[in-house]
Amino acid sequence: MRTVYDDVVERLEQEECLAVATVIQARGSTPQKVGAKLLVHEDGRTQGTIGGGCVEAEVWKEATAALRAGASRIVEVDLNDDVMGDVCGGTLTVFIDIWQPEATPAHDPNENRS
Amino acid sequence: MLTLAKQVAAALKRRESAVMVTVVNARGVDSGVKLGAKLLISADGLNHGSLGSEDLDRAACEQAADAIEEGEPRLKQYLPDGTLAPRRSRTYVQLLFEPLLPPDRLLVIGAGHIAVPLHEIGTILGFEVIVVDDRADFATRERFPHADEVLCIPFGTVPAQVAIDRTTYLVLVTRAHEHDEAVLKRVADSPAPYIGMIGSKRRVITVYRRLLEEGVTPEQLARVYAPVGLAINARTPQEIAVAVMAEIVSVKRQGKGNHSALRELPRSLQTVAGAARPPVSLPEF
């Protein structure tokens, strides 16, 4: 059984960065729920889904920008602006997490026992 | 970050539960707390990574057991000292708690013509799929390319060789009722949330009669979905697989699927079960 984390390991082992976009808040009638994930590779390929095409296009754009900048970010997607019509309404908050092969101070994998 | 990702992937492979906590937002906090900082909390208490503050790490650990129990991702707002932030607080750290739970298992007993579409649909639905048969020419990788495991073992050894826990959905689709009986009497008291058994009403009643004679209780049989699947008039193996997997989704999500299973033991079987017993009704749908 493959999970998102197998894909993350695979990319990082190839010395590539990976953007993991996760829905962290969903208000109104949104197509996906909290925890849904979309992976965006350095070459722009995607895996998984966080909902409809318009949401994904916007998140993809932000994810590729975040990959270039090398920093995680938060994106608010207003589904009411959806030009495709009023199928969905509401707002999605998506956290775009940039996974990097090298450990940065923020992600220092020091181990501790609680 | 590679180390952390490897630890998560390995824990999931070992079917362990854990919680991934990530800093997804921080306002008015000028400590070492950074966006994307992570703490992996394992069920065994061994942790990896840090949220950038001991107070937050401690607060997150205190929440870990609840997060695993809830099973759904949750967003929580904390103050830098690790206490929950009041509503409308201008200073806060948002933590995303993502429970990492092993996927549900679909255990397909019998590798015949219905097992093939069952293993395919099960994979699509995100189950970890295990197929079992005692025939080496049926229990093959070629036949079940999507299965996580294909085991060629005697049917009677199933509960010994495959751990059946409360995430295991079990479907009996063997070629003969004696094999169904061999498995059913050994799994009747297992914590599996779903046990389905294929067969016409007649075959089901034959199996139930033998099991009651062997000491399986009517209460244990009451958990079994047989005949298997939702009542959608499925005919082909593929349609039957859809009916079975829809039934499993309905059980898993507490839906209102219309089941094909017997609703009560036929009168003839109630005497086998012991005349002194009150009539037992079968699964409460």
Residues A50-95: pLDDT tens digits?
877 778 889 999 999 999 999 999 999 887 765 555 556 778 899 9
**Contact residues on chain B for A12, CB-CB shorter than 8 A:** 1-2, 5
> Torsions phi, psi of A22, nearest 5?
-125, 130
Those residues of chain A whose CB sits closer than 8 Å to some CB in chain B are: 1, 3, 5-6, 8-9, 12-13, 22, 24-25, 34-35, 71-74, 95, 97-114
Q: Which of A4, A7, A10, A24 should we substitute to test contact with B (largest number of B Cβ atoms within 10 Å)?
A: A24
Q: How far is CA A20 from CA A50, A74, B183, in A?
A: 11, 12, 43
Per residue in B6-43, pLDDT (tens digit) is 888 888 888 888 999 999 998 888 767 889 999 999 87
Q: First vs last Cα of chain A: how many Å apart?
A: 30
Per residue in A84-102, pLDDT (tens digit) is 555 567 788 999 999 998 6
Query: DSSP alpha helices (H): ranges in B108-198?
Result: 115-124, 158-161, 177-187
DSSP B235: -
pLDDT at residue B276, as a whole number? 42
In the predicted structure, residue B170 carries a pLDDT above the cut 90 = yes
CB-based contact B68:B17 (threshold 8 Å): yes
Question: Which region holds residue B247: left if phi is over 0, alpha if psi is between -120 and 50, else beta?
Answer: alpha
pTM above 0.90, yes or no: no
- Alpha-carbon span A69 to A66, nearest angstrom: 5
Using DSSP bridges, classify how beta strands B18-27 and B92-100 pair: parallel, antiparallel or unpaired: antiparallel
Residues ≥6 apart with Cβ < 8 Å to A85:
none
pLDDT at residue A3, as a whole number? 80
Sheet holding A37-41, edge to edge: A46-48, A37-41, A18-27, A91-99, A73-78
Give me the mean pLDDT over the B275-283 stretch: 51
**Contact residues on chain A for B124, CB-CB shorter than 8 A:** none
- CB contacts < 8 Å between A and B, how many? 102
- Mark yes or no for CB contact B75/A25 under 8 Å: yes
Cis before B278 (ω within 30): no
3-state secondary structure of B211: helix
Per residue in B22-32, pLDDT (tens digit) is 999 988 887 67
- Mark yes or no for CB contact B47/A111 under 8 Å: yes
3-state secondary structure of B266: coil
**Contact residues on chain A for B3, CB-CB shorter than 8 A:** 103, 109
B127: nearest CA partner in chain A: A1
Using DSSP bridges, classify how beta strands A18-27 and A91-99 pair: parallel, antiparallel or unpaired: antiparallel
pLDDT at residue B15, as a whole number? 82
Place of tokens 């938060």: A74
pLDDT confidence tier of residue B280, bands split at 50, 70 and 90 = low
Distance of alpha carbon B123 from its chain centroid, rounded?
13
Those residues of chain B whose CB sits closer than 8 Å to some CB in chain A are: 1-6, 8-9, 12, 22, 24-25, 34-38, 41, 45-50, 52, 57-58, 61, 72-75, 94, 96, 98, 103, 128, 148
Half-sphere exposure of B84 (CA within 13 A, CB side): 6
Cβ neighbours, 10 Å, residue A46: 16
Nearest to B183 by CA among B247, B110, B245: B110
Cβ neighbours, 10 Å, residue B138: 19
Mean of the per-residue pLDDT values of chain A = 81
pLDDT confidence tier of residue B134, bands split at 50, 70 and 90 = very high
Supply the ipTM of this predicted assembly: 0.80
DSSP B18: E
Task: State how far residue B152 is from chain A, nearest Cα, in angstroms.
Answer: 20
For residue B77, give both structure tokens.
């707002």
pLDDT confidence tier of residue A110, bands split at 50, 70 and 90 = very low
- Alpha-carbon span B249 to B235, nearest angstrom: 20
Give me the mean pLDDT over the A29-41 stretch: 84
Give me the mean pLDDT over the B220-236 stretch: 95
DSSP assignment of B3-58 equals HHHHHHHHHHHTT--EEEEEEEEEES--SS--TT-EEEEETTSEEEEE-S-HHHHH
- Mark yes or no for CB contact B9/A106 under 8 Å: no
pLDDT at residue B42, as a whole number? 86
Mean of the per-residue pLDDT values of chain B = 90
The identity of residue B219, as a single letter, is: E
Query: DSSP alpha helices (H): ranges in B15-53?
Result: none
DSSP B281: B
